[in-house]
Amino acid sequence: MRRFSVLPRLTLALALLCTAPLPQAALPLAVDGQPLPSLAPMLERVLPAVVNISTVTAIETADHPLLRDPFFRRFFDLPRERKRESNSLGSGVIVDARCGLVLTNHHVIDKADQIRVTLQDGRALEASLIGTDPETDIAVLQIPAEGLSALPFAAADALAVGDFVVAIGNPFGLRQTVTSGIVSGLGRSGLGIEGYENFIQTDASINPGNSGGPLVNLRGELIGINTAILAPGGGNIGIGFAIPVDMARAIMTQLVEHGEMRRGQFGAAVQNIDHALAAALGLERRAGAVVTRIDPDSAAAAAGLQVGDVILGVNDEPIANASDVRNRFGVLRVGSRVALDIVRDGQALRLSGVIADPYRDYLPGARIDEALAGALIGAFDRSGGVPGLPVGRVEPDSPAWMAGLREGDRILNANGVRIDGLQTLARALRRAGGLYSLSLQRGDELVRLARR
Neighbours of 115 (CB within 10 A): 23
Does 8 score more than 90 pLDDT? no
Q: Which of 85, 120, 142 is the last residue of a domain?
A: 142
- Same structural domain, 111 and 161: no
Predicted local distance difference test score (pLDDT) of residue 407: 87
- 370 three-class SS: helix
User: Catalytic: 107?
Assistant: yes
- 314 three-class SS: strand
Cα end-to-end span (Å), the chain? 81
Alpha-carbon dihedral angle through residues 298, 303, 306, 311, given to the nearest 10 degrees: -110
Choose the catalytic residue: 91, 184, 205, 211. Answer: 211
Read off the amino acid at residue 249. R
The answer to whether 368 touches 377, Cβ cutoff 8 Å, is yes
Closest CA to 319 of 275, 357, 285: 285
Predicted local distance difference test score (pLDDT) of residue 19: 42
- Same structural domain, 180 and 111: no
In a domain, 25, yes or no: no
Q: CATH number, domain at 69?
A: 2.40.10.10
Q: What is the mean pLDDT of residues 106-120?
A: 90
Higher pLDDT, 240 or 175: 240
Question: Is 40 exposed, middle or buried, given 0-12, 13-18 or 19+ CB atoms closer than 10 A?
Answer: exposed
Choose the catalytic residue: 88, 106, 107, 309. Answer: 107
Annotated binding site: 107, 137, 209-211, 227-231
The answer to whether 261 touches 140, Cβ cutoff 8 Å, is no
User: Catalytic: 211?
Assistant: yes
Rg (CA), the chain: 28
Does 258 score more than 70 pLDDT? yes
In a domain, 151, yes or no: no
Q: What is the mean pLDDT of residues 27-36?
A: 58
Does 251 score more than 90 pLDDT? yes
The DSSP call for residue 91 is: E
- Same structural domain, 295 and 344: yes
The answer to whether 229 touches 266, Cβ cutoff 8 Å, is no
- Same structural domain, 49 and 136: yes
- Same structural domain, 344 and 367: no
Predicted local distance difference test score (pLDDT) of residue 141: 96
Annotated binding site for substrate: 107, 137, 209-211, 227-231
- Same structural domain, 118 and 176: no
- 116 three-class SS: strand
User: Catalytic: 64?
Assistant: no
pLDDT tens digits for 151-163? 999 987 788 999 9
Q: What is the mean pLDDT of residues 229-242?
A: 73
In a domain, 253, yes or no: no
- 73 three-class SS: helix
Q: Find the helix or strand (DSSP H, E) in which 31 lies.
A: strand 30-31
In a domain, 105, yes or no: yes
Predicted local distance difference test score (pLDDT) of residue 183: 92
Closest CA to 235 of 205, 191, 276: 205
Q: Which of 327, 354, 381 is the last residue of a domain?
A: 354
Query: Per-residue confidence at 256, pLDDT binned at 50, 70, 90?
Result: very high
Domain hosting 162: range is 156-246
In a domain, 40, yes or no: no
Q: CATH number, domain at 306?
A: 2.30.42.10
Report CA-CA distances (Å) from 254 to 12, 139, 248, 263, 264. 61, 11, 10, 9, 12
In a domain, 3, yes or no: no
- Same structural domain, 347 and 372: no
pLDDT tens digits for 284-338? 777 888 999 998 888 899 999 999 999 999 998 888 888 888 888 888 888 889 9
Predicted local distance difference test score (pLDDT) of residue 243: 92
- Same structural domain, 138 and 86: yes
Higher pLDDT, 217 or 397: 217
Choose the catalytic residue: 137, 309, 341, 357. Answer: 137
Number of domains in the chain: 4
